[in-house]
């Protein structure tokens, strides 16, 4: 319909969404075909923002396929286009994804710089989901560097922001990282409860599988199970699974649950 009407902007946008969907399904070759066409149509129409979106999703597809250098180049080009078109929110998103590329390339310093730049944009815009994600990623880097004391306040803020925004993928990430912190500090029982609570929230966040299924989480849970023993782990896991979301957040923050927190934005679950 858009082709018939000569609406090149909508053609390019639709192709971008189709390309993103193909990438999510693992059909990266098809995704690149659709996104390349989207970019060509948007460029011919002089639609810089739409062109940049197509380039950005191409970068995401390349990242998912393990092509780090190509992904970084595409995402940096998309970032430039977002900045030129005045889309600060998407620029912050591109910076966050570039941080993931840097982490995959074992460049924690570059990742830290990208995240701090993203966080500055997200705070200025009040992008609560972006803020929660950037804080959690910064905390994860701190944990990788053995900086547990630096990680704790970052994770506490991330969880508070995510909880207020009812961002379930962000809540899962914060709970999992706080569980990791507990394990590092020698409290595997607490870690098991937090991992279990995160698993319940993840089951409700069905629209965001890439955000809630971390490749390292099963390994870390297995380490906690080994440290506790089968019976003690099973008990702690059951206790964590039995917590309400209020209780899990309060437990993670070492507070009493109030059951009075209300969402300020729509819930991010399917």
In this structure, the number of other CB atoms found within 10 A of the CB of residue 200 comes to: 17
The domains of the chain, with CATH numbers, are: 1-113 (1.25.40.10), 126-270 (1.25.40)
Alpha helices (H) in 25-87, listed in sequence order: 28-44, 48-64, 68-85
> Which residue carries 């941080």 as its tokens?
99
Distance, CA of 79 to CA of 33 (rounded, Å): 21
For the chain, give the percent of residues with pLDDT over 70.
Answer: 90
On the question of pLDDT at 211 being above 60, the answer is no
State the DSSP H helix or E strand holding residue 91, giving kind and residue range, or none if neither. helix 88-104
Query: Please, are residues 172 and 211 in contact by the beta-carbon 8 Å criterion?
Result: yes
pLDDT tens digits, 142-154: 999 999 999 999 9
Q: Look at residue 166 in the predicted model and tell me its pLDDT.
A: 87
Taking Cα atoms as reference points, which of 31, 52, 154 lies closest to residue 94?
Answer: 52
For the chain, give the percent of residues with pLDDT over 90.
Answer: 82
Q: Look at residue 14 in the predicted model and tell me its pLDDT.
A: 96
| 229: phi then psi, degrees, rounded to nearest 5 | 95, 155
* Sign of the alpha-carbon torsion through 236, 241, 244, 248: positive
pLDDT tens digits, 178-191: 999 999 999 999 99
Kindly report the pTM of this predicted structure: 0.84
User: Under 8 Å CB-to-CB from 123, ≥6 apart: which residues?
Assistant: 131
């Amino acid at each position: 319909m858009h082709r018939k009407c000569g609406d090149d902007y909508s053609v390019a946008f639709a192709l971008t969404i189709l390309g993103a969907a193909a990438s999510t399904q693992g059909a990266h070759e098809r995704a690149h075909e659709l996104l390349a066409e989207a970019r060509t149509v948007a460029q011919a129409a002089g639609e810089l923002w739409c062109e940049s979106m197509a380039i950005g999703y191409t970068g995401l597809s390349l990242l998912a396929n393990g092509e780090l250098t190509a992904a970084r180049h595409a995402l940096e080009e998309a970032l430039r286009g977002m900045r030129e078109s005045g889309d600060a929110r998407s620029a912050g998103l591109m910076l966050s994804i570039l941080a993931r590329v840097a982490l995959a390339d074992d460049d924690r310093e570059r990742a830290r710089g990208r995240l701090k730049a993203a966080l500055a944009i997200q705070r200025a815009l009040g992008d609560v989901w972006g803020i929660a994600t950037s804080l959690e990623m910064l905390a994860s880097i701190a944990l990788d560097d053995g900086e547990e004391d630096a990680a704790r306040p970052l994770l506490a803020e991330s969880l508070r922001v995510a909880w207020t925004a009812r961002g379930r993928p962000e809540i899962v990430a914060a709970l999992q990282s706080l569980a990791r912190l507990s394990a590092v500090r020698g409290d595997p029982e607490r870690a098991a409860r937090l991992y279990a609570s995160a698993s319940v929230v993840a089951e409700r966040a069905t629209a965001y599988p890439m955000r809630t299924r971390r490749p390292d989480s099963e390994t870390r849970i297995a380490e906690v199970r080994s440290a506790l023993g089968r019976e003690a782990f099973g008990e702690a896991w059951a206790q964590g699974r039995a917590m309400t979301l209020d209780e899990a957040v309060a437990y993670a923050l070492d507070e009493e649950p109030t059951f009075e927190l209300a969402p300020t934005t729509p819930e991010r679950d399917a």
